[in-house]
Structure 1
Amino acid sequence: MNVGLLNGLSGEVLLLFLNKDKACHKKGLALLNFIAEKIFSCKDYSFENGIVGFSWLIAFLHQKKYLNINSDEILEDVDDQVYKITFADLGQDEPSIDKILGLVNYFLIRHRNSNVGENYYRKFAHSECLNLLFNYLITYIEKCIRNTHITPYDFNCCCKILLKLGYSTEYISFKNVNDQLIEFHIHFILFYEAKSITSKDFENDIYTEGLLYLLLSAKQKKYEILEQRLLYIGQKAGKLFLQHFMYKIYSKEKFDYSLLEVKQLLFILTNYLSPYNSCSL
């Protein structure tokens, strides 16, 4: 049984609850209870396919008032386990960036949860874990910047991280990260422009997602000059950029969010303050 958010039952629950039909909410609740009975036999703790993702779903549904629960009580044991996983992952030489970003998703929604009589120390633990994860991500970006050869993979990862950091700072204060964010944006814009001019093997398609992460991030952080520069660069990049679902979200085209795949919907819910994310849910 796949309980995952990305391709499993938890993703189905998310879609059912976000459907405006109340009958779907009842189906979603029944499926949620079914997963809850089976979840602790799952050995996968990833955000995409395991316990972290299912627990994020519980915290999200509580945050959006679909569930009338005390999320601190329900997720207490999960919190404790995810704390341990966080320290273990950060202790590795090169932890997966996507896994680190998944942990950010979890701790951010848990930090945002509000419960009656909530424990200050639990909130503090959530924010401290976020600080540790943010520190790792910023160090990763700085390491890539010092590297004279940034691969397309590193470029796209760094841009994805910038979008996540910009989204997260809307909800939690993290030192002087806002000052660093604008400098990082400028660096990767200049890197892309230089690469497009000097590299004989340059293929803008392999940088498309990175550019879109940067564009959404610049818009979200209200870096208007950088946003316009990125829009100009992206429009020159061609159809792959202009037809991408991220560009459609950015440009506010007439866009039916109900047609989104679970992966795309999760991307919006965990990265971008779109009208759908902030108002319609």
Structure 2
Amino acid sequence: MYLNNKSIFDLLSFHIVDENIVDETILERWVEQAMVNDDYSFETGLLGIAWYISFLIENNYLVGDPDEILADLDDLIYKLTLKEVLQESIHVEKHLNLITYYQQRIGNDSKDHIYNRFTHFECLKLLIARLNEVLLDPKSFDQKELPLIIDILLKYSYLAIYVTDESLLEKPFYSSIENILDRFILEHVFIENVFIAKLFLCVKQYDNRYWWGKFQKILQSNGSNETSLWSELYLHIGETDLKDVNLKHFMKYDMDSKTLFDFVTNTNVYGD
């Protein structure tokens, strides 16, 4: 990793938790090192730093036109996207990272760069189509694959509400949520607490009362006295509409920088 072994998740965490002022020289050095190392990854490379710059501009921590600042990186990431969606095998994490980038860039609404916005949407649609293949494949629901499935579902719950036309993902999203919830209830599936927390946020965010009732059964079957990220979130947020929850709710919990990133980029909680 670059810059004293830090990742883009660490940069975001430092910025949010410690309310650090953005050091533009760090951003410049990050881009330079990523270019030298031909690193296009999200965690340490150009994809992640491009997302972070876009995020900072949208939230008024940097000043500038993101379409102009990120023009060269947009072109590189567009080519990376086409290469990824044309692969025979689907790398779920890479697809999710690219979607995170495009949902952020779409959020940088610019009337002067309509073509860029169109391109971002088209890339987003291509990536969603490939992830739909994963959700519609019964083999994807093997025990070891459930964390990735839950990551997709949390992302879809955000996209359906805030970013894109729900029809692009509705069928695989609905069937997969039903599948996952029923398995947790009937089979007592064991999975890391962080993914239960993500499933909780997915159900809360989409605000489907039927799914919420099923999730409460999962809570009851796992014991309400258990101390964990998901149970703490449940007890703190409870029946509150997730639209009324902000980032301060999440800062009460000791979570790693990647988990914080997942919550910030898959829910509408960032802000005061």
Which category of TM-score, normalised to the shorter sequence, fits these structures?
0.7 to 0.9
1:12–1:29: structure 2 CA closer, same or farther, 3 Å change rule? farther
| 2:198 equivalent among 190, 194, 213 | 213
* Cross-structure match for 1:229: 214
User: Aligned residue for 1:128?
Assistant: 122
Aligned to 1:156: 147
User: What 5-or-longer segments of structure 1 have no aligned partner?
Assistant: 197-203
Per the alignment, do residues 118 and 242 of structure 1 end up closer, same or farther by CA in structure 2, a change over 3 Å counting? farther
What is the CA–CA distance in structure 1 between the aligned matches of 2:233 and 2:137, rounded to whole Å? 31
For 1:172 and 1:256, how far apart are their aligned partners in 2? 25
Unaligned residue ranges in structure 2 (runs of 5+): 238-248
- Matched with 1:8 is 6
CA deviation string 1:121-178 (max 9, x = no partner):
110110011111111111110112xx4x831122222222111011112222235234
> Do the aligned partners of 2:13 and 2:260 also contact (CA within 8 Å) in 1?
no
Could you say what the CA RMSD is over the residues aligned between the two structures, in angstroms?
2.8
Matched, 1:256 2:256: no
Change (3 A) 1:93 1:243: farther
Moved more, 82-91 or 101-110: 82-91
Displacement of 1:118 after TM fit?
Answer: 2.6
Q: Which shifted more, 259-268 or 122-131? A: 259-268
Tell me, what secondary structure is at the counterpart of 2:137?
helix
**TM alignment of 1:167-246, pairs within 5 A:** 167-176=158-167, 177-178=169-170, 180-196=172-188, 204-206=189-191, 208-238=193-223, 242-246=226-230
Percent identity over paired residues:
25
**Which stretch of structure 1 is more off in the superposition, 82-91 or 10-19?**
10-19
CA positional deviation for 1:260? 4.0
State the 1:88 CA deviation.
Answer: 1.2
- Residue-by-residue CA offset, 1:223-272 (whole Å, 9 max, x unaligned): 12311321321342258x94333443444367635854321221111112
- Give the structure-2-normalised TM-score: 0.82
In the alignment of these two chains, the number of paired residues is 260
- Within 1, Cα distance between the matches of 2:44 and 2:130? 23
Letter in 2 for 1:245: L
Shift of 1:210: 4.4
Superposed, 1:57-136 pairs within 5 Å as 57-115=52-110, 117-136=111-130
Match of 1:201 in 2: none
Mapped to 2, the partners of 1:185 and 1:11 lie a distance apart of: 27
Deviations 1:53-103 (A, max 9, x none): 111100100111100111111111111111111121122222321111111
CA contact under 8 A between 1:59 and 1:113: conserved in structure 2?
yes
Structure 1 SS opposite 2:44: coil
Normalised by the length of structure 1, the TM-score is 0.80
Distance 1:52 1:70 in 2: 18
> Runs of 4 or more off by more than 6 Å in structure 1?
none
